Structure 1
Amino acid sequence: MTVFEPNETPPLILIADDDPSIVRLLADRFSLMGFKVETASNGRQALRRVRQGGVDALIVDIQMPELDGLAVSAYLLEHVKRPLHVIVATGRRDAETIETCDSMGALYVRKGAKFWKDLESALVEIYPAKAERIRQSGLRSTGIAVPKRARVLLVDDDPDVESFLRSRLDRCGIDTLYAADAAQGYLMACKEEPAVIISDYSMPKGDAQYFLTRLRTTPATKDIPFIVLTGRELSGANKLGLYRSIGGRSGAAQIVRKSADTGELFGALQEFCGLQASMA
């Protein structure tokens, strides 16, 4: 059952989140409810799209690259003349974040066990006349858990590298998925749809070039940013092959040398997923 009658123009909801798995979950659910849906993967995209007009509601994460969700929400709620409903969906639960949302007039929904129920309540608050149909849509019945934080997939056959980077990513508000080779990494990328993939260059069962080619020729993973982490200097030909587009899709976003100094790697990650702090 859809929320809106066939002759009605359904509201347009813009979903802004740098985690593609969350974007897909929300987009699928809202589409089934009868809403029109568009998506953005970072703060600037969201800001640009709302400025173009036609967006009725914004579902926005806080930790996003380029502009965080709170900054985007504050600007839009102050400067957009037409009514705009904002729901801030985040893993944060600190009092300051909740108070900031309240002060802006945005609704706060925490990513966690009660996410779908709380999101349903927020939608009912925005569209009270459609409350019964929103609830009938089955939003609450989904058993799919929503990740609280952005996730990075690390593919490397060295467990010491995994342990080293996992601890630093965790301190920056990023969860780490791990695979020991290209074959496992491909399967995990298809299943989990991480925000970013960091891959060693030389691995069992396929190097980074092989891995990247498989990702770019698979619909579910074709647009996931791909960072190559290498312990040796690559030849010019190898670098060119990694940066070259594949089937019209972008190649590697960056090639980074392995080092105890994670500044370059985390600088690259800042472009693709929000970090709470810089952990060089």
Structure 2
Amino acid sequence: MLENKKILLVDDDDDALQAIGARCRSVGMQVFTARNLLTALGQVEKQRPDVVCVDVQMPTGNGIGFCEMLANDHSTAHIPRILITGNATAETQDSARRLNAPLIPKSMNVWETLLPLLQQVAGDSPQTTSKAQSPKANLPKVDLAATRIVLPLPLAPKQSDAEPEVASAATIEADQELLLDSVFAMLGSELGEDEAEFQTYDSGQEETPPWVLCIDDDADFTDALRCRLESHGVAVVRAFDGMEGYRTAFAQPARAIILDFEMPNGHGDYVLRRLKENPVTADIPVVMLTGNKDRNIQRRLMALGAVAYFNKPVRFDQLRGELSNYIEILDTPLVSD
């Protein structure tokens, strides 16, 4: 029985959310939805669903990475995960098998395949309750080719008193920091259960050529900066949003970090605070960049632990001079700038 079981549907396709959500309600399930992975993580923390169904292709990440985060967090690892995709590549299928997550095609007959899976992983049938085993065990195998049929199943009629539960823009904004805390906490548990594997920044221990991490969503700017720094003997690793930058900094502590203030998935001030709170990254010097000339922002960033603050467009000689306080950097470029 699926009566009153909680399902979280994660998909940026409104039609898919409505169609699958209506079907789930027709069998008595409580439906929660999310159109991006950040909101989805917040819903997992708040609702503790009995099963999660997530699209592989999402605008700010992918469903496989989301499922990996759930699997690697002890508080959510028990939640069964089902992946839906419109492009079942060999790599995607391998990832799904590794996660022990059923992978079903996003087609018009998706419900015909999804319902038996829900009954298996979330239902209270005698078969599932009589065995003391994880809800992930013995998941049915899905033949991706065999599930494609020509005629779609009719959708269940919409119920006027059961509209999809979607967080308003105001609610999402109000809960943004809480959601980010959940994301960064999961990243920390995923990457750093044994922090002894990593060493914090110590200029006396580095023998390899210096490298810096540049966290900025402006690809053109970071590419130009990478070329300039490499010509002065400094390697550059780029990340394009807050979560990606934090993950990279945590897994591979850089000699210095160049961090933009305004970015998706975690503004620079939030990322800076999390970097300084974590013993693995706390000692890495962070240089902040922003196009915002508000002096209050500058004071806040410096109070959070930034070593310097520059307004965009920043002069390269200023940035190079600041970085030279923490890494060895050539005064004269190897090739003409």
TM-score range, shorter chain: 0.3 to 0.5
Which of these two proteins has the greater Rg computed from alpha carbons? 2
TM-score by length of 1: 0.45
TM-score by length of 2: 0.38
